[in-house]
Amino acid sequence: MKRIITLLFCLCGFGIINVASQTVTEEDFISNLLKQMTLDEKIGQLAQYTYRGNFTGPDGANIPKEEYVKQGKIGSMLNVTGIKEIHRFQELALQSRLRIPLIFGLDVIHGYRTCFPIPLAEAASFDLAMIEETARYNAMESAADGLNWIFGPMVDISWDARWGRVMEGAGEDPYYGSRVAEARVKGIQGNNLADTATVMACIKHFAGYGAPTAGKEYNSVDMSLGQFANFYMPTYHAAIKAGAATVMSAFNDFNNIPSTANDFLLNRLLKQQWGFKGFVVSDYNSVEELVNHRYAYDKKDAAAKALNAGLDMEMVSTCYLTYLKELIQEGKVKEKTLDNAVRRILEKKQELGLFEDPFRYCNPARSAKILNSPEIRNASLRMAERSIVLLENKQSVLPLTSQVKSVALIGGLSKSQNDMAGAWAATTDRSKIITLYDALLQKGLEVNYADGYDLKSNRMTDLQKTLQAARTSDIVLVAVGERANQSGEKAAKVDISIPEEQQRLVSELKKTGKPVVVLVMCGRPVIFNEIKEKADAVLCTWWLGSEAGNAICNVLWGTYNPSAKLPMTFPAHVGQIPIYYQYKSTGRPTSLKQTYTASYIDYSTEPAYPFGYGLSYTTFGYSDLNVLPGKSPDIHAEVSVKVTNQGQRTGEEIVQLYVQDKVASVTRPIKELKGIQKIQMEPGESKTVTFPITNEALGFYDNEMNYKVEPGEFIFMVGGSSNNLQQITFTLK
């Protein structure tokens, strides 16, 4: 903050500070500005208001938005889209006394105009460079259309697929989730917030939002601090270390205090301990909702509790706007606390370059060049291919060959642009989404389409027509799963099974004797045991965005050899949830053979598909697992393994390293992911992969949240899935 800058333009052009043109530090600039601000103007900076619609919550108070912006009573707007409207609001802000520009934020979760695969699907790629690339394009398109802040990435870890928002995260694992969080932050923000191809990221939802009791949306979260520190906290921390500019507080309570007014989370952990310099925004209406939590008596009390706990900006509800002045006059909130929050927000406005040029994101020529550009669509296709997980491929029915001339395509999901976009795609150009149906036709195939089942009731429709389509085709492709609005926010479910009649339809189709390939379209892990048993091949295609159809075809015909792995365990029964690979031993470790162990009497404890699982059209062999001494003081050892492509096709493998701490001063999981490497190999080729073993691979947080590395024995496990690993022991002296 001590950088020297020349504020010639803003001093003369916008008249923000009453001093002559001179060279000032950024800090001086903000301090000077703060000195000139009235209490009302300061409070205004803390208010974020929504323009249109109640996208994710109740309507806000009916305030005259435009008028408030003109009076400097609003610091940021959300849900204003398009250069024209953003320009109009910014002009209004510049009519205020101090001409402080607005920040414009929006939920850009998997693409702005071009639609990318949903974040959970992207996570399945285990391709961090590609994840960073799509995040960069998200930001680029958003910035090209006037925005300077996106509410993402969501970095909440979840072990509960009933919670619909798992679609927006990177799955269940804190190590991998942290790497994805870093990649997304870097992609969104680049190296310089003032670059007009980047925007501010917002890490959400701080904290623990992915662990709502019983998977119920917005529900309470209760966990020990040791559990939080080891499994849920690392992704937030990694994102902050990667430089995330803002953080959103979660709707839920955490340790019996709502996150939005949680002094431990916001003031102590985030700002003091981690040194976070950006600002914290509440979730939609969540300051006012402190009253519903029965943590605040009324909205005034809510305002005091939130600001005192370190919540800088209030989204949509107007507790700060209405009561902060009174609270300061009554001494219930210190003006210094208000100043700190205002300073954090102004600093970001400055880093975005908004004081220099409030309209820097509003350039129609740039917008026309970037939105929906072929380069960005191409990235969407590459990402979509890398996101598809091959779950079953019995008798190597896939890839299809050029002998396949006719296809029975069953299921309305395969034709639905809306569903292929996935949830959270409000600004996507849906008319440009290539469905599977479109892509098959473009390939010049004979497509015998039948709905198969009704998309609303999920009951089978006209079975004879469906079977006839199958009988007259070389191959049957069946699209099953969820609709886009059945995952995402407010889409928690008690049953994540694919509807019974969709599954039975696959069994009926199988009776025709034709090869049946099932495409599971979903925004979360789903359960489909009947399909698993009956189908010849199963691909999890999630919701893949603009290039969905082309990507699925490329995988079906082997133009792209699938490489994705599951970032989240797929349960076999809903009663197994929460289910995750990194469970603990317990005093009576789970055993398939013995009773009186951690298990169920009516069902297996095994998932349908474990974390890290996914097939390829080739196979990979693992050999020569070895541990060598580390070559530098911070690397305790190096684990190496030889991986060989044993099949006939070029393929990519995601090599995974897991660690078990054999005995520790707190109970530890049976295995934890501590390294991934994605490698490509020609048929017959071998590569040696090496993983450095650092403190991060061996340590853990104790119950007081201190990080520890304890000497003793560790087991290193390496392989291509969490349930198929080779192991070797290592002793840390």
Give the footprint of ligand NOJ on this chain (CB under 6 A): 55-56, 107, 151, 204, 283-284, 489
**Distance, CA of 690 to CA of 640 (rounded, Å):** 4
Nearer to ligand NOJ by Cβ, of 56 and 148: the residue is: 56
Q: How far is the CB of 168 from ligand NOJ (least distance, A)?
A: 8
Nearer to ligand NOJ by Cβ, of 77 and 556: the residue is: 77
Please name which of 186, 113, 612 lies closest in space to residue 379, comparing C-alpha atoms: 113
**Distance, CA of 433 to CA of 413 (rounded, Å):** 13
User: Angle at the Cα of 444 (from 438 to 445), degrees rounded to 5?
Assistant: 85
Q: Is 283 a catalytic residue?
A: yes
Question: What does the DSSP assignment read for 589-617?
Answer: ---SS-SSSSS-SSS-S--SB-TT--B-S
Q: How far is CA 532 from the centre of its chain?
A: 27
Q: How far is the CB of 383 from ligand NOJ (least distance, A)?
A: 22
Nearer to ligand NOJ by Cβ, of 284 and 453: the residue is: 284
Task: Name the token pair of 309.
Answer: 């706990």
Nearer to ligand NOJ by Cβ, of 28 and 107: the residue is: 107
Question: What does the DSSP assignment read for 202-231?
Answer: EEEEETTTT--GGG-TT--B---HHHIIII
Annotated active-site residue in 107, 145, 253, 283? 283
Helix axis angle, 374-387 to 548-556, nearest 10°: 50
The dihedral built from the CA positions of residue 604, 606, 607 and 609, taken in this order, carries a sign that is negative
Q: How far is the CB of 55 from ligand NOJ (least distance, A)?
A: 5
Q: How far is the CB of 209 from ligand NOJ (least distance, A)?
A: 8
Q: How far is the CB of 710 from ligand NOJ (least distance, A)?
A: 38
Please name which of 623, 604, 88 lies closest in space to residue 358, comparing C-alpha atoms: 88
**Start-to-end CA span in the chain (Å):** 43
Residue indicated by tokens 């969490």: 722
Nearer to ligand NOJ by Cβ, of 107 and 160: the residue is: 107
Q: How far is the CB of 155 from ligand NOJ (least distance, A)?
A: 11
Q: How far is the CB of 284 from ligand NOJ (least distance, A)?
A: 4
Spatial contact of 107 and 101, defined as CB atoms under 8 Å apart: no
Collapsing DSSP to helix, strand or coil, 291 comes out as coil
Spatial neighbors of 632 by CB under 8 A, at least 6 apart, are none
Nearer to ligand NOJ by Cβ, of 55 and 359: the residue is: 55
Q: How far is the CB of 361 from ligand NOJ (least distance, A)?
A: 19
Q: How far is CA 296 from CA 65, 123, 205, 286, 305, in A?
A: 27, 38, 21, 12, 8
Nearer to ligand NOJ by Cβ, of 153 and 412: the residue is: 153
Q: How far is the CB of 72 from ligand NOJ (least distance, A)?
A: 23
Spatial contact of 87 and 146, defined as CB atoms under 8 Å apart: yes
Please name which of 729, 695, 726 lies closest in space to residue 715, comparing C-alpha atoms: 729
Nearer to ligand NOJ by Cβ, of 160 and 661: the residue is: 160
**Distance, CA of 222 to CA of 219 (rounded, Å):** 10
H helices then E strands: how many in the chain?
Answer: 24, 27
Nearer to ligand NOJ by Cβ, of 169 and 612: the residue is: 169
Spatial contact of 400 and 557, defined as CB atoms under 8 Å apart: yes
The catalytic site residues sit at 283
